[in-house]
Amino acid sequence: MTASALTRPGQRERLSEKITEIDWRLALVLTAIAGLGAMILYSAAGNHWGPWADKHLIRYGLCLIVMLGLSLIGLRYWFTAAYPVYALALILLLAVPVIGHSALGAKRWIGTNSFQIQPSEIMKVGLVLALARFYHGMTSREAAMSWKLLIPAALIGAPVLLVAHQPDLGTAILLAATGFSIMVLGGLSWRLMTAGAILGGATVVPFLLFVLKGYQRDRLLTFLHPEQDPSGLGYHITQSKIALGSGGLLGKGFGLGSQSQLNFLPEKQTDFIFATFGEEFGLVGCVGLLALYAIAVAIALRIASISHSHFGRLSAAGVTVTFALYVLVNAAMVMGLAPVVGVPMPLMSYGGTVMVTVMISFGLVEAVRVHRYEEMPSGRGSLL
């Protein structure tokens, strides 16, 4: 370990020393994933840089600079910004039904045709920051079981309900899973988790019958039996399975995927880009890509574990869990192991808001690495 890595806060203030503390392995792995994304977007467009690959690379380059810049910001600034970021994201979510832009049967975006943001993506970072700050001020006994747990439950429940109403069930599930993960990492009692699991199981049937919209129930039934409607609701899953299956062990080769090149595969540049990749690079390529994701997650979790502050540990672990859930849900969806819920593959799928959110998240992870010895103010976790 280098001498600078052992330096305490206040002694490591020079920019050059902060830069040396950045985990460049993580930046390299993320760049490799984004590079593979650009490559498969180039192939999906018929071996053309436009309309996806060129913009994908430019966005990633800009986002990488933002990530590295954010890594130099002290954790106290992230701590101070936690509740305001959450509040801003919540306000934007509340504004979506009023001024939001509709597309594909859902109202999820705010902005003009040339510039749009998806507030639910901002909330993924805001929720992690707010929960990490709240738990930073709690004792282990309070985090395990106390009335104060109603506050993080409300912090999670409000955006989950708003996002589900858009409707965006996939993102709502991700937010709920991320929030629950942070509660568990914060020290939630096993008795409460067991009681929650029993309560959740009891509400499954009423949820399916009275909460889910008709098309969402149809998606679930289609996931279970896609062969019953292969040219209708089961088309996405059927074509995705064909693409992955035809790739075999080593794939058909770069630019030779018939399902994507002939436009049989829907949303080949976004939600189903993993199927596009699997058709051209086969099982070996898919395993290699998932291994890169696993390495990024492992590095980020290692960074979370070495932070000296509870806020740093929970915030880094929280955004890492969100990233991992992105990958797992998208891969399962494409392979027919989960319903189609519109979750993209991070850094691979074409799209600006998700990439910005992911890279800001990893900027936070890198900030935890650079400022791992920085202590947070005590007794300020409460919302009161």
Task: Note the pLDDT of residue 341.
Answer: 81
Range with top average pLDDT, 182-186, 201-205, 290-294: 290-294
Residue 186 counted as domain residue: yes
Provide the pLDDT confidence category of residue 104 given band limits of 50, 70 and 90: low
- pLDDT tens figures, 203-255: 766 776 666 666 667 767 677 777 666 766 678 888 898 999 989 999 999 98
- pLDDT tens figures, 160-181: 999 988 888 888 989 999 999 9
Q: Which domain holds residue 207?
A: 16-370
Task: Note the pLDDT of residue 106.
Answer: 66
Task: Note the pLDDT of residue 57.
Answer: 96
What is the Cα Rg of the chain in Å? Answer: 21
According to DSSP H, which parts of 101-168 are helical?
Answer: 119-136, 140-144, 150-164
- The token duo for 190 is 């096993």
Provide the pLDDT confidence category of residue 7 given band limits of 50, 70 and 90: very low
The neighbour count for residue 263, using CB atoms within 10 Å, is 11
Q: Tell me how far CA of residue 94 lies from CA of 97, 123, 162, 163, 302, in angstroms.
A: 7, 12, 7, 9, 36
Is 6's pLDDT higher than 90? no
Task: Note the pLDDT of residue 209.
Answer: 66
Q: What are phi and psi of 106, to 5 degrees?
A: -135, 155
- Report which residue type is found at 206: P
CA dist 291 and 266 (Å) reads 26
- What is the bridge-based pairing of β-strands 116-117 and 101-103? unpaired
Residue 196 counted as domain residue: yes
Residue 381 counted as domain residue: no
CA dist 125 and 346 (Å) reads 14
Residue 376 counted as domain residue: no
Is 188's pLDDT higher than 70? yes
Q: Is 129 left (phi over 0), alpha (psi -120 to 50) or beta?
A: alpha
Domain count, the chain: 1
Is 107's pLDDT higher than 80? no
Whole-model pTM: value is 0.89
Residue 1 counted as domain residue: no
Residue 24 counted as domain residue: yes
Residue 5 counted as domain residue: no
DSSP 107: E
Task: Note the pLDDT of residue 234.
Answer: 78
CA dist 76 and 365 (Å) reads 14
Is 82's pLDDT higher than 70? yes
Task: Note the pLDDT of residue 137.
Answer: 86
**Position with higher pLDDT, 47 vs 113:** 47
Please identify which residue in the block is written with the tokens 């020393």.
Answer: 17
**Position with higher pLDDT, 210 vs 52:** 52
Task: Note the pLDDT of residue 98.
Answer: 85
Residue 2 counted as domain residue: no
Is 2's pLDDT higher than 60? no
Q: In terms of Cα–Cα distance, which of 75, 106, 117, 234 is closest to 172?
A: 106
- pLDDT tens figures, 135-150: 998 888 899 988 999 9
CA dist 264 and 236 (Å) reads 9
The neighbour count for residue 273, using CB atoms within 10 Å, is 26
Task: Note the pLDDT of residue 198.
Answer: 86
What average pLDDT does this structure show over 27-35?
A: 97
- The token duo for 146 is 């106390």
Provide the pLDDT confidence category of residue 337 given band limits of 50, 70 and 90: confident
The neighbour count for residue 376, using CB atoms within 10 Å, is 21
